[in-house]
A and B are shown apart, each in its own frame.
Chain A
């Protein structure tokens, strides 16, 4: 780790040497060096992860758990080793509490189907927040429709934090499940999930945290958070797309019925009936994304080598630097909290619609995201048609933020 001194802020962590690990970053886009600031949508992959996928397919590829031959044994060992790594990385008490899924969306859907079908009944309340991603709204709305439960939400204040003054009136005994995003993908807000879950648990309410923007970006310990379920995606933390996980408290998982039926999740099958394995196998029917899981394991190895505290600190510093620079743009409205926030800045420029701005940025090699970021209710809440968003990861640099600023200043001139 090197330290650079910047004019505008205190010494900053410089991880630019890690850029060499990411082949994709070294390219020109529309004639200019790529600046990839769309990490909240998907992160890039280090060579170590890409090579591990190749190694697995070239040397160990076979189905897991059911073979008795060497390749299957090797594949199974690496697959289960990845589960251990993930469990340790998120602070799970038990490796068997980690279920592999396609990502955050599938993880939430698992709970919103299996758990909800078992426990929700008409008149129960599902409590979420006004800053949830569609993937933590729609599954619950579907569950409410099936069960007759009602959905309620904690509103968002102007500064992008939750209106906790309403918590006592909303978090009542009628609530059967409380779910909340850990780090908002649209505002950057880091929610006090530990305090919220403690309050919910005291009332016997089941809790789920959407950790899509948190795992791999800041230290996550599910036991310290005290939730019952924690959902996350691999592709936002250097792993391949299509793999992610659901952590569930052992006693919750033990009481839950299976979701998908098929191979691997059963003990005994007759022509009339079947018995099921315990978690995690119970919830992993069929051949899993073996390569994806192994890639996720390699991603965890890589992130641990860099250090999650270092990644977190770098993100905070780079975001603070970006916020400081961006405040100077004429007609800018920055959403979300000014201080403690995840490594992203969503903003709206008075002179340009997000899609026009993102189009302009793209022609200069700058990858931003523009639109509603799958949080339509939040856009409505802040009365914006959408926002432009710059989201960072540890391989991004202050020099790249400077380039973004140059491009944004040019955009302001162009559209004004």
Chain B
């Protein structure tokens, strides 16, 4: 069945694994930016903690929260990818990830996306795009806050 295949694409083993054993799970207590994100209509919640280096790269990142497998797995995979990355790299990654789950726009750096490409199954489930984007929206806000603090 075609849709069953779509469902398997949506919930691939790697995604289910990240949702059950999220990486970088928890809180950062030291000098960091904390952003709370939620999807009020479905009750998904996420807290992202980011520690930036002086050059703007992400020195450390953690998240916690509650929500569906997609929102939690996407946030977990995000933290793995962005930890240690420069601001430019993170910006490209954010754009490419958005293009991946929305199924529109071009991908600038496919290699950098790596296993995040597994989340492209979300394209077939438009209502779940906001789940996949939840952690990323919080990260985007954290970066904005860090930039505003600098000014």
Binding site for B on A (CB under 8 A): 30-31, 352-356, 359-360, 363, 371-372, 376, 379, 385-386, 414-415
- Which residues from chain A contact B41 at a C-beta distance below 8 Å? 371
Chain B minimum-CB-distance residue to A360: B7
A359 to B7, Cβ gap below 8 A?
Answer: yes
Given contact pairs A353-B67, A356-B70, A31 touches B3 in the complex (Cβ within 8 A): yes
- Which residues from chain A contact B1 at a C-beta distance below 8 Å? 30-31, 363
- Which residues from chain B contact A371 at a C-beta distance below 8 Å? 41-43
Q: Which of B16, B66, B128, B131 contacts A415 (CB 8 A)?
A: B16
Counting chain B CB atoms within 10 Å of each CB, the highest count among A31, A353, A371, A386 belongs to A353
Interface string of B66-94 (1 = CB under 8 A from A): 11111000000000000000000000000
Chain B minimum-CB-distance residue to A30: B3
Interface string of B48-81 (1 = CB under 8 A from A): 0000000000000000001111100000000000
- Which residues from chain B contact A359 at a C-beta distance below 8 Å? 7, 10, 125, 128
A363 to B7, Cβ gap below 8 A?
Answer: yes
- Which residues from chain A contact B131 at a C-beta distance below 8 Å? 355
B68 to A356, Cβ gap below 8 A?
Answer: yes
- 18 A-B residue pairs with CB within 8 Å: A31-B3, A352-B69, A353-B68, A355-B128, A355-B131, A356-B11, A356-B70, A359-B7, A359-B10, A359-B125, A359-B128, A360-B7, A363-B6, A363-B7, A371-B41, A385-B44, A386-B42, A415-B11
Given contact pairs A356-B68, A414-B11, A379 touches B43 in the complex (Cβ within 8 A): yes
Interface string of B3-37 (1 = CB under 8 A from A): 11011001100001000000000000000000000
Chain B minimum-CB-distance residue to A370: B42
Q: Which of A30, A356, A385, A386 contacts B69 (CB 8 A)?
A: A356
- Which residues from chain A contact B43 at a C-beta distance below 8 Å? 371-372, 376, 379, 385-386
Q: Measured between alpha carbons, how far is A174 from B103 in the docked complex, in Å?
A: 58
- Which residues from chain B contact A30 at a C-beta distance below 8 Å? 1, 3
Known: A31-B3, A355-B70. 9 other contacts (CB 8 A): A353-B67, A355-B42, A355-B68, A360-B7, A363-B7, A371-B41, A372-B42, A385-B66, A386-B43
Q: Measured between alpha carbons, how far is A270 from B130 in the docked complex, in Å?
A: 54
- Which residues from chain A contact B45 at a C-beta distance below 8 Å? 385
- Which residues from chain A contact B10 at a C-beta distance below 8 Å? 359
Counting chain A CB atoms within 10 Å of each CB, the highest count among B3, B43, B66 belongs to B43
Chain A nearest Cβ from B9, distance in angstroms:
11
Q: Measured between alpha carbons, how far is A99 from B44 in the docked complex, in Å?
A: 39
Chain A nearest Cβ from B21, distance in angstroms:
13
Chain A minimum-CB-distance residue to B16: A415
Q: Measured between alpha carbons, how far is A335 from B7 in the docked complex, in Å?
A: 28
Q: Which of A356, A363, A385, A414 contacts B3 (CB 8 A)?
A: A363
Chain B minimum-CB-distance residue to A353: B68
Q: Measured between alpha carbons, how far is A230 from B68 in the docked complex, in Å?
A: 37
Q: Measured between alpha carbons, how far is A385 from B45 in the docked complex, in Å?
A: 9
Q: Measured between alpha carbons, how far is A368 from B68 in the docked complex, in Å?
A: 16
